[in-house]
Amino acid sequence: MKYIKKKFFIENVKVRNLTKKFSTPIYCYSYKKLKKNIMIFKKNFKNLNPLICFAVKANANLKLLKEIKKFGLGADVVSLGELTKALKAGIQTKKIVFSGVGKTSEELRFAIDKKILLINAESKSEILEIERIAKSKREIVNIGIRLNPNTDAKTLKQISTGKKQDKFGLTEKYFLELVKYLKNSKFIKLKCLSVHIGSQILSNQPYEKMLKVVDRIIKKSNYKFEFIDLGGGMGISYDKKIKNLNYKKYAVAIKKVLKKHNTKIIFEPGRSIIGNTAILVSKVIYIKHGSNKNFVILDAGMNDLMRPALYGAEHQIIPENKKNVFTKKTYEFVGPICESTDRFLTAKKFQKLNEKDLVIISDVGAYGMSLSSNYNVRLKPAEILIKGYKINVIKKRQRLKDLI
Ligand SMILES: *Cc1c(COP(=O)(O)O)cnc(C)c1O
């Protein structure tokens, strides 16, 4: 993704040409970036020989899942729908883990029938439900238990999941009680301790704290886990000033703390695999003068990209066609939806824009399309995958007749 003669390109394709053919807003992914992210991830954690399960909730596009599968990744799913998609993408059942606090009996039964690698349970009630189902099917089911390590991930509070006030996982006391209970279970084989402390984590310190807690609790449990599932959460750079999480340092810490337990490591990365692979291309509908700023009203809204409205997340916006003329007034980039939170970014010094200009909203590959909705009865955008010169429509734009 770069400018060539001041025009924005994804790989060898001029974004302007895509919009002529497919209109706006559109999600465009770069295959090269996806491949690079997976290679970097694998390389940095190579010494741990981990099972890497892509967190499908970050991006559930079937074609992308198929590409990810080709690199040998498994899947971390959180619903029957995601599990079905992972299977449809051809991901082996023995590379699928199922997370989430509220799996229904129907979902558990389906996962058990498919014999996936692990169901990562998050409560005593869920474990008892798994046991009932397993007993009725006369099967032994492999599970993990998710620990709530009570560690602050130092991320946005809306995407923190590992503190004791968060709904996720089990606190030390209950975790240890359940390990003890499961030692005598005839229908459940406890294989894994799982943790996931949050998302968009940029500092190594929360992970290091979490590892210490995991180490301590494994010792205390006096149980031989076959797997430790460390979840995902690796942060990426949404802003040039901020660096990605240091993988190397994390890998060293994992090796140091968990080596003695001699278990297999699982990761569940979502954002770090797919986040920076995509842009959302949008057209300026109107520019409206406000009291001390100008509103740039885009044809993409919070239904297309919800992260700013949902978490206050910031995605950088850049012009499609670079010029050297700048505005004096602040621009506020907003969508057309009837909500005040339907705003993307405030930019102090931006290239002067005109109505009908195109803009690029950056790094929308993770929790972009997967969080999109039909709010205001708006149609979900198309998704396009670029491989060199090749243009692949991996999801067609919704049509009104799909909805009504
Ligand atoms: C969301 C989630 C992930 C992925 O998180 P990223 O920040 O996208 O890497 C992994 N594991 C679990 C249990 C999750 O809920």
Which domains, from first to last, does the chain contain? 2-29+275-403 (2.40.37.10), 31-274 (3.20.20.10)
In which element (H, E) is residue 16 found? Answer: helix 15-22
Instruction: Average pLDDT across each block of 10 residues of the chain; the chain has 404 residues. List them in order.
Output: 96 97 98 98 97 98 98 98 98 98 98 98 97 97 96 83 89 96 96 96 95 96 97 94 91 92 96 98 97 96 97 96 93 96 96 97 98 97 98 98 93
Is any atom of ligand 1 closer than 6 Å to the C-beta of 120?
no
Report d(CA 62, CA 395) in Å as an integer: 9
Question: Which numbered atom of ligand 1 lies nearest the CA of 194?
Answer: 13
Residue to mutate (ligand 1; options 41, 76, 160, 200; most atoms within 8 A of CB) = 76
For residues 305 and 280, the answer to whether their CB atoms sit within 8 Å is yes
Question: Which numbered atom of ligand 1 lies nearest the CA of 161?
Answer: 15
Q: Find the 263 Cα to ligand 1 centroid distance in Å.
A: 21
Q: Which residues contact 219 (CB under 8 A, 6 or more apart)?
A: none
Task: Say which DSSP state 378 is in.
Answer: P
What dihedral angle (degrees, nearest 10) is formed by the CA atoms of 197, 201, 205, 208? 40
Q: Which residues of 34-63 are buried (b: 16+ CB within 10 A; e: fewer)?
A: bbebbeebeebbeebebbbbbbbbbbbbee
Structure tokens given for 380: 């979900």
Phi, psi of 282 (to 5 degrees): -135, 155
Q: Kindly tell me the burial class for residue 241, based on how many C-beta atoms sit within 10 Å of its own C-beta (0-12, 13-18, 19 or more).
A: exposed
* Bond prior to 206 in cis (omega within 30° of 0): no
Q: Which pLDDT value is given to residue 243? A: 85
Q: Which pLDDT value is given to residue 69? A: 98
Task: Name the residue type at position 42.
Answer: K
Q: Find the 64 Cα to ligand 1 centroid distance in Å.
A: 17
Contacts of range 84-93, beta carbons closer than 8 Å, 24 or more positions apart:
85/56, 85/60, 86/56, 87/114, 88/62, 89/62, 89/65, 90/66, 91/65, 93/117
Is any atom of ligand 1 closer than 6 Å to the C-beta of 269?
yes
Question: Which numbered atom of ligand 1 lies nearest the CA of 146?
Answer: 13
Residue to mutate (ligand 1; options 54, 156, 199; most atoms within 8 A of CB) = 199
Q: Give whole-number Cα distances, 294 to 70, 260, 291, 356, in Å.
A: 46, 59, 8, 15
Q: Which pLDDT value is given to residue 205? A: 95
What dihedral angle (degrees, nearest 10) is formed by the CA atoms of 117, 119, 120, 122? -170
Q: Which pLDDT value is given to residue 404? A: 92
Based on the residue annotation, tell me whether 338 is a catalytic residue of this protein. Answer: yes
Phi, psi of 9 (to 5 degrees): -120, 145
Q: Which pLDDT value is given to residue 164? A: 87
What is the pTM (predicted TM-score) of this model?
0.97
Closest by CA to 365, choosing from 270, 248, 253, is 270
Q: Find the 236 Cα to ligand 1 centroid distance in Å.
A: 13
For residues 118 and 227, the answer to whether their CB atoms sit within 8 Å is yes
